[in-house]
Protein backbone atom coordinates (compact mmCIF):
# COMPACT_ATOMS: atom_id res chain seq x y z
CA UNK A 1 0.00 0.00 0.00
CA UNK A 2 1.33 3.41 -0.90
CA UNK A 3 1.27 5.54 2.18
CA UNK A 4 2.86 8.66 0.75
CA UNK A 5 0.45 11.29 2.03
CA UNK A 6 -0.80 14.34 0.19
CA UNK A 7 -0.63 16.13 3.50
CA UNK A 8 -0.21 15.48 7.21
CA UNK A 9 -2.75 16.35 9.90
CA UNK A 10 -1.22 17.17 13.30
CA UNK A 11 -2.72 17.58 16.77
CA UNK A 12 0.13 18.94 18.89
CA UNK A 13 -0.74 19.40 22.54
CA UNK A 14 1.23 20.13 25.69
CA UNK A 15 1.98 16.45 26.39
CA UNK A 16 1.64 14.65 23.07
CA UNK A 17 2.14 14.93 19.32
CA UNK A 18 -0.20 13.01 17.04
CA UNK A 19 -0.01 12.91 13.25
CA UNK A 20 -2.07 11.35 10.48
CA UNK A 21 -0.91 10.66 6.90
CA UNK A 22 -3.80 11.96 4.76
CA UNK A 23 -5.00 11.83 1.16
CA UNK A 24 -6.17 14.98 -0.59
CA UNK A 25 -9.73 13.67 -0.19
CA UNK A 26 -9.38 13.49 3.62
CA UNK A 27 -8.85 9.78 3.98
CA UNK A 28 -6.45 8.50 6.67
CA UNK A 29 -3.54 6.40 5.36
CA UNK A 30 -1.65 5.96 8.59
CA UNK A 31 -1.15 7.54 11.99
CA UNK A 32 1.70 8.01 14.44
CA UNK A 33 2.09 9.42 17.93
CA UNK A 34 4.97 10.62 20.07
CA UNK A 35 5.37 11.99 23.59
CA UNK A 36 7.19 15.05 22.26
CA UNK A 37 4.53 17.48 23.43
CA UNK A 38 4.94 21.24 23.21
CA UNK A 39 5.65 21.34 26.97
CA UNK A 40 9.09 19.79 26.57
CA UNK A 41 10.23 21.39 23.29
CA UNK A 42 12.18 24.54 22.58
CA UNK A 43 11.17 26.43 19.41
CA UNK A 44 13.95 24.86 17.28
CA UNK A 45 13.04 21.35 18.39
CA UNK A 46 9.59 21.26 16.79
CA UNK A 47 10.78 20.73 13.22
CA UNK A 48 13.05 17.75 14.06
CA UNK A 49 10.31 16.18 16.20
CA UNK A 50 7.81 16.41 13.35
CA UNK A 51 10.27 15.15 10.73
CA UNK A 52 11.19 12.22 12.94
CA UNK A 53 7.56 11.21 13.37
CA UNK A 54 6.71 11.47 9.66
CA UNK A 55 9.99 10.17 8.19
CA UNK A 56 8.46 6.79 7.38
CA UNK A 57 5.77 8.35 5.21
CA UNK A 58 7.80 10.44 2.77
CA UNK A 59 11.19 12.01 2.23
CA UNK A 60 9.70 14.49 -0.23
CA UNK A 61 8.15 17.91 0.38
CA UNK A 62 5.34 17.79 2.87
CA UNK A 63 2.38 19.97 3.76
CA UNK A 64 1.08 20.01 7.33
CA UNK A 65 -1.99 21.43 9.04
CA UNK A 66 -1.53 21.58 12.82
CA UNK A 67 -3.66 22.59 15.80
CA UNK A 68 -3.09 22.90 19.52
CA UNK A 69 -0.46 24.29 21.86
CA UNK A 70 2.11 24.15 19.06
CA UNK A 71 0.76 27.64 18.31
CA UNK A 72 1.13 28.98 21.86
CA UNK A 73 3.63 31.66 22.80
CA UNK A 74 5.92 28.92 24.20
CA UNK A 75 5.34 26.74 21.10
CA UNK A 76 6.90 26.57 17.62
CA UNK A 77 5.56 29.97 16.68
CA UNK A 78 2.76 31.99 18.19
CA UNK A 79 -0.43 31.77 16.11
CA UNK A 80 -2.38 34.88 17.15
CA UNK A 81 -5.79 34.23 18.65
CA UNK A 82 -8.92 34.87 16.61
CA UNK A 83 -11.80 36.51 18.46
CA UNK A 84 -15.21 35.23 19.46
CA UNK A 85 -17.98 35.54 18.53
CA UNK A 86 -16.78 34.13 15.25
CA UNK A 87 -16.22 30.95 13.25
CA UNK A 88 -14.14 28.20 14.88
CA UNK A 89 -11.84 28.20 11.83
CA UNK A 90 -11.33 31.77 10.70
CA UNK A 91 -9.38 32.52 7.53
CA UNK A 92 -5.62 32.25 7.67
CA UNK A 93 -3.02 29.95 9.15
CA UNK A 94 0.24 30.91 10.80
CA UNK A 95 3.22 29.39 9.03
CA UNK A 96 5.95 27.92 11.19
CA UNK A 97 9.60 28.59 10.31
CA UNK A 98 11.22 25.53 8.70
CA UNK A 99 13.31 24.40 5.74
CA UNK A 100 11.29 24.99 2.54
CA UNK A 101 10.39 21.33 1.94
CA UNK A 102 8.22 21.45 5.04
CA UNK A 103 5.15 23.72 4.98
CA UNK A 104 3.38 23.88 8.33
CA UNK A 105 0.20 25.91 8.79
CA UNK A 106 -0.99 26.35 12.37
CA UNK A 107 -4.68 26.95 13.15
CA UNK A 108 -5.20 30.00 15.39
CA UNK A 109 -6.66 29.58 18.87
CA UNK A 110 -9.70 31.56 19.99
CA UNK A 111 -9.79 34.32 22.58
CA UNK A 112 -12.75 35.88 24.38
CA UNK A 113 -12.41 39.33 25.92
CA UNK A 114 -15.02 39.38 28.64
CA UNK A 115 -14.85 37.16 30.59
CA UNK A 116 -11.24 36.66 29.47
CA UNK A 117 -10.78 33.15 28.13
CA UNK A 118 -8.64 31.26 25.63
CA UNK A 119 -8.55 27.97 23.74
CA UNK A 120 -6.01 26.25 21.50
CA UNK A 121 -6.94 23.01 19.78
CA UNK A 122 -10.57 22.91 20.93
CA UNK A 123 -11.59 25.27 18.11
CA UNK A 124 -10.53 22.53 15.69
CA UNK A 125 -12.72 19.98 17.50
CA UNK A 126 -15.64 22.39 17.28
CA UNK A 127 -15.07 22.90 13.56
CA UNK A 128 -14.85 19.15 13.05
CA UNK A 129 -17.97 18.45 15.08
CA UNK A 130 -19.86 21.03 13.01
CA UNK A 131 -18.51 19.53 9.80
CA UNK A 132 -19.84 16.15 10.93
CA UNK A 133 -23.09 17.66 12.28
CA UNK A 134 -24.08 20.57 10.02
CA UNK A 135 -26.55 23.08 11.45
CA UNK A 136 -26.00 21.86 15.01
CA UNK A 137 -26.78 24.56 17.61
CA UNK A 138 -26.24 24.19 21.34
CA UNK A 139 -23.51 23.76 23.93
CA UNK A 140 -20.45 21.61 23.37
CA UNK A 141 -18.72 20.33 26.49
CA UNK A 142 -15.09 19.27 26.07
CA UNK A 143 -13.95 17.58 29.30
CA UNK A 144 -10.26 17.41 30.18
CA UNK A 145 -7.58 19.14 32.18
CA UNK A 146 -9.34 22.42 31.45
CA UNK A 147 -12.96 21.56 30.58
CA UNK A 148 -14.60 23.93 28.13
CA UNK A 149 -18.24 24.82 27.71
CA UNK A 150 -18.67 26.21 24.19
CA UNK A 151 -21.86 27.82 22.94
CA UNK A 152 -22.34 27.26 19.20
CA UNK A 153 -24.93 28.90 16.98
CA UNK A 154 -25.23 29.19 13.18
CA UNK A 155 -21.75 27.75 12.69
CA UNK A 156 -20.06 30.21 15.02
CA UNK A 157 -18.62 30.09 18.51
CA UNK A 158 -20.78 32.54 20.44
CA UNK A 159 -19.00 32.32 23.79
CA UNK A 160 -17.08 29.86 25.90
CA UNK A 161 -16.17 29.14 29.49
CA UNK A 162 -13.07 27.25 30.64
CA UNK A 163 -12.64 25.80 34.10
CA UNK A 164 -9.71 24.35 36.01
CA UNK A 165 -11.66 21.28 37.16
CA UNK A 166 -9.49 18.50 35.74
CA UNK A 167 -6.20 20.03 36.74
CA UNK A 168 -7.60 20.81 40.18
CA UNK A 169 -8.49 17.13 40.61
CA UNK A 170 -4.91 16.16 39.73
CA UNK A 171 -3.39 18.76 42.06
CA UNK A 172 -5.62 17.72 44.97
CA UNK A 173 -5.02 14.02 44.36
CA UNK A 174 -1.28 14.36 44.06
CA UNK A 175 -0.20 17.30 46.16
CA UNK A 176 -2.45 17.64 49.22
CA UNK A 177 -3.34 15.58 52.29
CA UNK A 178 -6.11 14.02 50.19
CA UNK A 179 -3.48 11.88 48.42
CA UNK A 180 -3.55 9.60 51.48
CA UNK A 181 -7.28 9.04 50.91
CA UNK A 182 -7.80 8.92 47.13
CA UNK A 183 -4.87 6.95 45.72
CA UNK A 184 -6.42 3.90 44.04
CA UNK A 185 -7.31 2.48 40.66
CA UNK A 186 -10.82 1.83 41.94
CA UNK A 187 -14.02 3.84 41.45
CA UNK A 188 -17.36 4.04 43.24
CA UNK A 189 -20.06 5.33 40.89
CA UNK A 190 -22.62 5.97 43.65
CA UNK A 191 -20.09 8.08 45.53
CA UNK A 192 -19.32 9.95 42.30
CA UNK A 193 -22.96 10.81 41.62
CA UNK A 194 -23.53 11.78 45.27
CA UNK A 195 -20.50 14.09 44.98
CA UNK A 196 -21.90 15.65 41.80
CA UNK A 197 -25.24 16.35 43.52
CA UNK A 198 -23.54 17.80 46.56
CA UNK A 199 -21.20 20.01 44.54
CA UNK A 200 -24.08 21.24 42.42
CA UNK A 201 -26.43 21.89 45.33
CA UNK A 202 -23.88 23.47 47.68
CA UNK A 203 -20.89 24.85 45.78
CA UNK A 204 -20.19 27.21 48.68
CA UNK A 205 -19.38 24.19 50.89
CA UNK A 206 -16.51 23.01 48.68
CA UNK A 207 -13.56 24.04 50.87
CA UNK A 208 -15.01 22.08 53.79
CA UNK A 209 -16.24 19.11 51.77
CA UNK A 210 -12.75 18.63 50.40
CA UNK A 211 -11.31 18.34 53.90
CA UNK A 212 -14.22 16.13 54.94
CA UNK A 213 -12.96 13.47 52.53
CA UNK A 214 -9.83 13.21 54.66
CA UNK A 215 -11.78 13.33 57.93
CA UNK A 216 -14.15 10.56 56.82
CA UNK A 217 -11.17 8.44 55.82
CA UNK A 218 -9.77 8.81 59.33
CA UNK A 219 -12.99 8.53 61.33
CA UNK A 220 -15.41 6.51 59.25
CA UNK A 221 -13.24 4.27 57.12
CA UNK A 222 -14.18 5.97 53.84
CA UNK A 223 -12.50 3.76 51.25
CA UNK A 224 -10.17 5.10 48.50
CA UNK A 225 -12.48 4.24 45.55
CA UNK A 226 -15.35 6.14 47.19
CA UNK A 227 -13.08 8.98 48.29
CA UNK A 228 -11.60 9.42 44.80
CA UNK A 229 -14.98 9.25 43.09
CA UNK A 230 -16.50 11.71 45.57
CA UNK A 231 -13.64 14.15 45.01
CA UNK A 232 -14.16 13.95 41.26
CA UNK A 233 -17.92 14.34 41.71
CA UNK A 234 -17.62 17.35 44.03
CA UNK A 235 -15.43 19.20 41.53
CA UNK A 236 -17.56 18.33 38.51
CA UNK A 237 -20.71 19.21 40.46
CA UNK A 238 -19.23 22.60 41.36
CA UNK A 239 -18.37 23.13 37.71
CA UNK A 240 -21.94 22.20 36.73
CA UNK A 241 -23.26 24.71 39.30
CA UNK A 242 -21.26 27.55 37.77
CA UNK A 243 -22.06 26.43 34.21
CA UNK A 244 -25.78 25.88 34.87
CA UNK A 245 -26.82 28.34 32.19
CA UNK A 246 -24.76 26.43 29.63
CA UNK A 247 -26.48 23.06 30.04
CA UNK A 248 -29.81 23.49 31.83
CA UNK A 249 -32.53 23.29 29.21
CA UNK A 250 -29.94 23.41 26.43
CA UNK A 251 -28.97 20.94 23.75
CA UNK A 252 -25.62 19.56 24.92
CA UNK A 253 -23.04 17.34 23.27
CA UNK A 254 -20.02 16.02 25.14
CA UNK A 255 -16.90 15.60 22.96
CA UNK A 256 -14.43 13.28 24.60
CA UNK A 257 -13.24 9.74 25.06
CA UNK A 258 -12.94 7.04 27.67
CA UNK A 259 -13.62 7.63 31.35
CA UNK A 260 -13.74 11.42 31.04
CA UNK A 261 -16.49 11.25 28.46
CA UNK A 262 -18.35 8.65 30.48
CA UNK A 263 -18.21 10.44 33.84
CA UNK A 264 -19.18 13.90 32.58
CA UNK A 265 -22.01 12.42 30.56
CA UNK A 266 -23.21 10.46 33.61
CA UNK A 267 -23.01 13.60 35.76
CA UNK A 268 -25.15 15.58 33.31
CA UNK A 269 -27.61 12.73 32.82
CA UNK A 270 -28.06 12.37 36.59
CA UNK A 271 -29.12 16.03 36.68
CA UNK A 272 -31.78 15.48 34.06
CA UNK A 273 -29.85 16.61 31.01
CA UNK A 274 -29.78 14.32 27.97
CA UNK A 275 -26.34 14.92 26.49
CA UNK A 276 -25.34 13.65 23.09
CA UNK A 277 -21.81 12.30 22.84
CA UNK A 278 -19.16 12.40 20.16
CA UNK A 279 -15.60 11.12 19.80
CA UNK A 280 -13.03 13.85 20.36
CA UNK A 281 -10.39 12.39 18.05
CA UNK A 282 -12.83 12.06 15.15
CA UNK A 283 -13.81 15.68 15.72
CA UNK A 284 -10.17 16.82 15.75
CA UNK A 285 -9.42 14.98 12.54
CA UNK A 286 -12.55 16.31 10.83
CA UNK A 287 -11.54 19.83 11.89
CA UNK A 288 -8.04 19.43 10.47
CA UNK A 289 -9.53 18.12 7.21
CA UNK A 290 -11.85 21.13 7.10
CA UNK A 291 -8.88 23.48 7.58
CA UNK A 292 -6.99 21.62 4.82
CA UNK A 293 -9.88 22.00 2.41
CA UNK A 294 -10.18 25.70 3.03
CA UNK A 295 -6.44 26.21 2.55
CA UNK A 296 -6.58 24.76 -0.99
Under the rule (CB under 8 A), what is the footprint of a second copy?
Answer: 73, 81, 111, 113, 115-118, 146, 161-165, 167-168, 170-172, 174-178, 202-208, 210-212, 215-216, 218-220, 235, 238-239, 241-244
- Minimal distance in Å, beta carbon 124 to a second copy? 19
d(CA 26, CA 3): 13
Under the phi-then-psi rule, with left for phi > 0, alpha for psi from -120 to 50, and beta for the rest, what region is 226?
alpha
Q: Which is nearer to a second copy, 26 or 242 (CB)?
A: 242
- Minimal distance in Å, beta carbon 170 to a second copy? 8
d(CA 54, CA 33): 10
Under the phi-then-psi rule, with left for phi > 0, alpha for psi from -120 to 50, and beta for the rest, what region is 20?
beta
Q: Which is nearer to a second copy, 26 or 225 (CB)?
A: 225
Q: Which is nearer to a second copy, 47 or 216 (CB)?
A: 216
- Minimal distance in Å, beta carbon 163 to a second copy? 4
d(CA 231, CA 166): 11
Residues 6+ positions from 202 with CB-CB distance below 8 Å: 209
User: What is the length of the chain?
Assistant: 296
- Minimal distance in Å, beta carbon 146 to a second copy? 6
Q: Which among 39, 43, 156 is positioned nearest to 104, based on CA atoms?
A: 43
Q: Which is nearer to a second copy, 20 or 160 (CB)?
A: 160
Task: Kindly give the interhelix angle for 280-294 and 122-132, rounded to the nearest 10 degrees.
Answer: 90
- Minimal distance in Å, beta carbon 228 to a second copy? 15
Q: Which is nearer to a second copy, 222 or 285 (CB)?
A: 222
d(CA 99, CA 61): 10
- Minimal distance in Å, beta carbon 161 to a second copy? 5
Longest dimension (CA), the chain: 66
- Minimal distance in Å, beta carbon 95 to a second copy? 22
Q: Which is nearer to a second copy, 238 or 284 (CB)?
A: 238
Q: Which is nearer to a second copy, 28 or 171 (CB)?
A: 171
Amino acid sequence: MDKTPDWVAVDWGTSNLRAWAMTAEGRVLDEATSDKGMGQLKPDEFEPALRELTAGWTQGPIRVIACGMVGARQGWIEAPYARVPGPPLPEGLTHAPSRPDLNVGIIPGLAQSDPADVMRGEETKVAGFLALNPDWDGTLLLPGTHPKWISVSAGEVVAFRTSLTGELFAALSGHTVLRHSVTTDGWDEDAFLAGVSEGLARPEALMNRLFAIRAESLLKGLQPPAAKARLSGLLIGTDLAGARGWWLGARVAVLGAGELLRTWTAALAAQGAAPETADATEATLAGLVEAWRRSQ
